[in-house]
Amino acid sequence: MAETFDIAIVGAGITGCAIARQLARYDLSICAIEAANDIAMGASKANGGLVHAGYDPAPGTVKAQVNARGCELYGTWAQELGFLFRRTGSMVLGFNDEDRAHLEKLRQNGLANGVPALSIIGPDRIHELEPRASAKATCALWCPSTGYVDPFEVAIAALENAVANGVTFMRSAPVEAIEVAGSDDGAARFTLVTPAGDVRCRYLINAAGNGAADISHMAGAEEFQMVWRQGNIVVLDKEPRALMPLYPVPTPVSKGVIVTGTVHGNTVITATAAVREPGDTQTYATDVDALLTGARKLVPDLGTRRVVRAFAGGRPVIKGTNDFFIGQSAVVPGLFQAAGIQSPGVASAPAIAERMEQVLRDAGVVLRKRDDWDPIRRAPDDFDRAPLVRKEELIESDPAWGQIVCRCETVPEAEIVAAIRRRPGAVSVEGVKRRCRAGMGRCQSGFCQSRVVTILARELGCDPSKVLLEDAGSWLVEGPLKGGVR
Ligand SMILES: Cc1cc2nc3c(=O)[nH]c(=O)nc-3n(C[C@H](O)[C@H](O)[C@H](O)COP(=O)(O)OP(=O)(O)OC[C@H]3O[C@@H](n4cnc5c(N)ncnc54)[C@H](O)[C@@H]3O)c2cc1C
């Protein structure tokens, strides 16, 4: 017997999770359905984490409307949801008169899009703001509202808050077919067929990233095609002081190679842009070269031999448009599209959610505020960042807080256990990593992976040979593990 909800959201990337969080404040039953076994497993786990300010999109586009607003909302979202967000400001560096003219165009775009406090500055101010910026830069667009986040932390925090407010999360549930009943008579209109069980709902929100065209097609709605605009990214080891995001003058299809700090103090070089086969998450030597060369132009003293990781993701682009598609389907009423959420989807996520709420309202969906909605998510303890007194309290409460499993990122056993026990919790080694950084550091899990496997096996009540690196089929060990944790 299929479970019935008012709203089903397909896709638990940053878009679906933000929408779930936004709508959880209303008296509605909501289900977030995800094909993978965890949150943020698509583009939302493989991006630069930049909260772009919004001077880039062409004025009048949907992107332009949600980017600056999303960037503005990040302050409140970070506070309420307890995720790390640094509003550092950024500079787009220019090296000649042609670049300067381009910067002025960006500034005008930004003004039209509602981006606050943009200005064009000269070399002295550039080096005051970021002493490591290239001395060859003659001008820059200074944008104080830019920032950065850990994108999967945002998605996880938003969905945890949604679940705490009653949203149901179905994982490992790829939607394989959609049946649509003839008319919206107030009853559930859509039946979503998944191997984890069918779901019925009155309203359907398509936030399926690179799978959005398939969902739209299955429902008999708009026919469009997705283009996998692939990007490679490299992560460098931590710096004593995180770099301010530095951008080059953008190209027609991308913002170019950007150098940025991260909330944990690493440096990230992001991202190339090339149309590749759907699902291609390989890194390419040519792309990595392009990243390192582009980065050195912005930050000449960058220690590019300090790369700890290279990875790739695919921006969910709708063929034939560079814009987001957010709105009710013109073909199938009751189906709402949040599709084509390419860059700046991370930066825009809170505003995409806000816009989706307005779209539902305009379509006549009754949104009645719940008295018991709690906007606050209590962030889990982060041992590495905790003050000494808190560290002592934690170890006093449970000695497992003193058992350091990941030495690079100082993650103790108890923090890993907490990551698995949260709702929704980690079910794989990478899921643990995304929640508490075990394995995210310099050695990239060389020392701690087998211990994380042991803890997962113990917590999930399975044999270590059943523990997954990431999604279904990605087992790590065949025989018994030596040693292990307690
Ligand atoms: C290299 C790169 C760099 C980027 N850098 C930035 C940046 O710095 N700042 C920024 O703002 N944006 C950036 N972006 C863009 C950003 O990552 C995306 O806009 C954003 O992650 C899209 O989120 P989403 O939730 O819409 O899609 P996804 O994260 O892809 O989520 C969609 C989800 O839907 C699920 N799904 C698909 N089909 C089905 C189905 N049939 N049934 C159930 N579930 C399904 C998928 O498994 C997936 O989890 C970058 C993107 C890339 C690739």
Measured in Å, residue 159 CA sits from the centre of ligand 1 at 15
* Residue 62 CB–ligand 1 contact under 6 Å: no
Question: What per-residue confidence (pLDDT) applies to 183?
Answer: 66
Alpha carbon nearest to ligand 1 atom 13, residue:
343
Question: What per-residue confidence (pLDDT) applies to 486?
Answer: 45
Q: Return all residues near 414 (Cβ < 8 A) that are at least 6 apart.
A: 383, 394, 398, 400, 401, 403
Three-state SS annotation for the chain? CCEEEEEEEECCCHHHHHHHHHHCCECCCEEEECCCCCCCCCHHHCCCCEECCCCCCCCCCHHHHHHHHHHHHHHHHHHHHCCCEECCCEEEEECCHHHHHHHHHHHHHHHHHCCCCCEEECHHHHHHHCCCCCCCCCEEEEECCCEEECHHHHHHHHHHHHHHCCCEEECCCCCCEEEECCCCCCCCCEEEECCCCCEEEEEEEECCHHHHHHHHHHCCCCCCCEEEEEEEEEEECCCCCCCCCEECCCCCCCCCCEEEECCCCCEEEECCCEECCCCCCCCCHHHHHHHHHHHHHHCCCCCHHHEEEEEEEEEEEECCCCCCEEEECCCCCCEEEEECCCCCHHHHHHHHHHHHHHHHHHCCCCCCECCCCCCCCCCCCCHHHCCHHHHHHHHHHCHHHHCEEECCCCEEHHHHHHHHHCCCCCCEHHHHHHHHCCCCCCCCCCCCHHHHHHHHHHHHCCCHHHCECCCCCCECCCCCCCCCCC
Measured in Å, residue 316 CA sits from the centre of ligand 1 at 6
Q: Which two tokens stand for residue 338?
A: 């949040």
Measured in Å, residue 343 CA sits from the centre of ligand 1 at 9
* Residue 245 CB–ligand 1 contact under 6 Å: no
What CA–CA distance (Å, rounded) separates 310 from 274? 16
Question: What per-residue confidence (pLDDT) applies to 186?
Answer: 61
3-10 and 30-33 as β-strands: parallel, antiparallel, unpaired? parallel
Alpha carbon nearest to ligand 1 atom 48, residue:
42
Q: Return all residues near 174 (Cβ < 8 A) that are at least 6 apart.
A: 35, 194, 195
Q: Return all residues near 327 (Cβ < 8 A) that are at least 6 apart.
A: 336, 337, 359
* Residue 47 CB–ligand 1 contact under 6 Å: yes
Domain ranges, ordered by start, for the chain? 1-85+148-225+319-379, 86-147+227-315, 388-484
Per the CB < 8 A criterion, the answer to whether 11 and 158 are in contact is no
Q: Are 1-85+148-225+319-379 and 86-147+227-315 equal in CATH topology?
A: no
Closest CA to 237 of 325, 302, 156: 302
Per the CB < 8 A criterion, the answer to whether 460 and 467 are in contact is yes
Task: Return the CATH superfamily for domain 86-147+227-315.
Answer: D-Amino Acid Oxidase, subunit A, domain 2 (3.30.9.10)
Alpha carbon nearest to ligand 1 atom 25, residue:
13
What CA–CA distance (Å, rounded) separates 251 from 446? 38
258-261 and 85-86 as β-strands: parallel, antiparallel, unpaired? unpaired
Instruction: Confirm or reject CATH 3.50.50.60 for domain 1-85+148-225+319-379, answering yes or no.
Output: yes
What CA–CA distance (Å, rounded) separates 175 from 192? 6
CA distances from 281 to 284, 291, 395 (A): 10, 16, 40
Active-site choice (52, 102, 127, 217): 52
Tens-digit pLDDT profile for residues 90-112: 999 999 999 999 999 999 999 99
What CA–CA distance (Å, rounded) separates 18 from 299? 34
Tell me the sheet residues that pair with 63.
none
Measured in Å, residue 372 CA sits from the centre of ligand 1 at 31
Measured in Å, residue 225 CA sits from the centre of ligand 1 at 16
Q: How many CA atoms lie within 13 Å of 275's alpha carbon, on the beta-carbon side? A: 7
Q: Which of 15, 47, 323 to mutate to test the pocket of ligand 1 (most atoms within 8 A of CB)?
A: 47
Question: What per-residue confidence (pLDDT) applies to 109?
Answer: 96
Question: What per-residue confidence (pLDDT) applies to 484?
Answer: 53
> Which stretches in the chain have pLDDT values below 70?
183-187, 483-486
Q: Is 319 left (phi over 0), alpha (psi -120 to 50) or beta?
A: beta
What CA–CA distance (Å, rounded) separates 81 from 87? 16
| Nearest atom, ligand 1, residue 346 CA | 11
Q: For the domain made up of 388-484, give the CATH fold.
A: Arc Repressor Mutant, subunit A (1.10.10)
Identify whether 102 is a catalytic site residue: no
| Nearest atom, ligand 1, residue 36 CA | 47
Closest CA to 243 of 124, 335, 122, 134: 134
Question: What per-residue confidence (pLDDT) applies to 251?
Answer: 80
Q: Which of 15, 191, 337 to mutate to test the pocket of ligand 1 (most atoms within 8 A of CB)?
A: 15
Chain centroid to Cα 179, Å, comes to 30
